Structure 1
């Protein structure tokens, strides 16, 4: 990470009407540097020319100046912003689970957020009051996934310019590059990706001997007896596997094209019921994401999966709780675990 540098600036707080029964306020309040100033420990990352136009999931948006106070409503995108040394001041969080800390922050970047003094503004549904009070000059939103706040775009965009990004069909490198263009951190993005490319090349060479029989893998969250979720070749996890010399196993047509329910419209994840799970796992190797070793053991012991190739050979491996959403931090962790499993 780059050295931390204090930044002092004045900001304007705009109050917007909150949806529901509570009114947040009716007017913008301008504050001079003598009235309100705030210390923030943020690295300096800005490069390139401004104004600039940023490509988003909702089309191009022009930003007049480099952002200095960013709020992320997406725990998935927060990790990439932190890795970019972006001036992130606040983030949304999820309900506490195995993949998060007690504040609902993804475990792979929680320490980095603490070091930067990034405030957790809410858990679960976006808190418009707290986002407004943070006085951001840029808000980052995910277009899909459980951490999406896109339905609140109209309100959020009244607080600050709001950029919507779709991470569901992109690698973390693609998302990091897109976010870097929005915050002026292109050079930092190139550094992160170059470091990771070297790591992947070394990992691919290390595991190659273990792939002599087959490189076909299954990637899933194992939730028996509830629906499990198969991660496809277009998912971030699938794309990473391909770069490591692995091939994501194809699903039978009837499973791939079945009604996805709440996953409708997503190509990266396919929900599969327990009655079809054995047919959905033809690969010689299985990676269980969002899980530790006991979950892999439970899958190997599942009598309904006793005849799938990876269970028969014992090649079922857990990739850790932080493997569910990939960013710079968790992707590095996942590569290490795959090497540990196969090399």
Structure 2
């Protein structure tokens, strides 16, 4: 996958941020001063960048991306401000239906729009990512307490647990993990005789091709639902940032299965995969055993994505390549079903 250059803001940039946020929220271990000198109760949260004191009852949460925001929404906490860093159509629909405006543009990797963020006066910022987001985290910390939710190189359970800790909903997160694990297990229990092996072949940023490595959220969900993978995909990641298995166009033949899934979406180009000569020669392709799915969701690591994938796999277990899987236009119905299942 494409390597994105990650710069660290220089000293002058940092000084400008500090000047902009002279009125920023300040906290201590036992409390801080809020607006008009009011006492603000805080609590400690441990996250990938250390420990931070956050408001016990934040009034204005800003999420730097849709996926962090949807994890908070799943836990019953609605952010006031969300940036569309992933360009997710599903995320935009879900959040705007809830009355949350998604601001176009990214807060990732490049310097985030500090002036805009300060103007929103958040008393807490929640972001997606770990070490790869160090520069973004450093830029945001003068504005308000920042909590990072791990996303890459972690399980979906740990990511959801971290989201629960960020907003003081640890028990709710634990209950949701149990529900989602049962939902995944139910796919295998209810499946009819059908496809037992499933291959995922994707393309992104103009590079073909890749699949999800062993231990990634998608791989864990597939295993929990009773699907096996081609041996060529049952390996550890070689790209630590994104946990993928590179597939050369010439090596696609090693990735055939009962069902081949090709992701399409904001960052995924299904046509680029389908146009590969070796892909066209796969038995699965010749026998119409190829299914196109929403790649932005299938490679997502947040609670709603887990439920969405399980729902797709249930249809696959029943109907194989004829399965009806979720598309961005199904976001509202899928979100309603998710909320009903997890009790949000």
TM-score, structure 1 normalization: 0.69
Look up the match of 1:277.
252
Look up the match of 2:314.
339
1:165 aligns with 2:159: no
CA distance in 2, matches of 1:246, 1:20: 53
User: Per-residue deviation at 1:85?
Assistant: 1.7
Look up the match of 1:44.
none
Look up the match of 2:193.
209
Of 65, 79, 98, the match for 1:74 = 65
Q: Secondary structure at the match of 1:275?
A: helix
Contact 2:200 2:212 in 1 (8 A): yes
Of 226, 240, 243, the match for 1:268 = 243
Q: Secondary structure at the match of 1:270?
A: strand
Contact 1:196 1:332 in 2 (8 A): yes
Contact 2:54 2:124 in 1 (8 A): no
Q: Secondary structure at the match of 1:277?
A: helix
Q: Deviations over 1:85-108 (max 9, x none)?
A: 22411122137xxxxxxxx3x233
Look up the match of 2:177.
193
TM-score, structure 2 normalization: 0.69
1:311 aligns with 2:285: yes
Mapping for residues 99-118 of structure 1, pairs under 5 Å: 104=87, 106-118=88-100
**Alpha carbons of structure 1 residues 209 and 285: separation in structure 2 relative to 1, 3 Å:** same
Contact 1:217 1:283 in 2 (8 A): yes
CA distance in 2, matches of 1:130, 1:161: 16
Look up the match of 1:119.
101
Contact 2:184 2:224 in 1 (8 A): yes
CA distance in 1, matches of 2:201, 2:301: 14
Contact 1:291 1:318 in 2 (8 A): no
CA distance in 2, matches of 1:58, 1:26: 21
Q: Secondary structure at the match of 1:160?
A: coil
Q: Deviations over 1:110-146 (max 9, x none)?
A: 333224432334412421111111111221223359x
- 5+ residue gaps, structure 1, are 1-16, 34-49, 96-103
**Alpha carbons of structure 1 residues 83 and 135: separation in structure 2 relative to 1, 3 Å:** same
CA distance in 2, matches of 1:61, 1:332: 30
**Alpha carbons of structure 1 residues 68 and 191: separation in structure 2 relative to 1, 3 Å:** farther
**Alpha carbons of structure 1 residues 79 and 296: separation in structure 2 relative to 1, 3 Å:** same
**Alpha carbons of structure 1 residues 314 and 302: separation in structure 2 relative to 1, 3 Å:** farther
Q: Secondary structure at the match of 1:229?
A: strand
1:90 aligns with 2:85: no
Q: Size of the alignment, in residue pairs?
A: 289
User: Per-residue deviation at 1:68?
Assistant: 3.0
Mapping for residues 190-269 of structure 1, pairs under 5 Å: 190-207=174-191, 209-211=193-195, 215-222=196-203, 226-251=207-232, 264-266=239-241, 268-269=243-244
Contact 1:289 1:318 in 2 (8 A): yes
User: Per-residue deviation at 1:271?
Assistant: 3.4
CA distance in 2, matches of 1:209, 1:26: 60
1:290 aligns with 2:276: no
Instruction: Name the Cα RMSD after superposition.
Output: 3.7
Look up the match of 2:23.
28
CA distance in 2, matches of 1:163, 1:74: 13
1:328 aligns with 2:310: no
**Alpha carbons of structure 1 residues 302 and 314: separation in structure 2 relative to 1, 3 Å:** farther
CA distance in 2, matches of 1:26, 1:206: 55
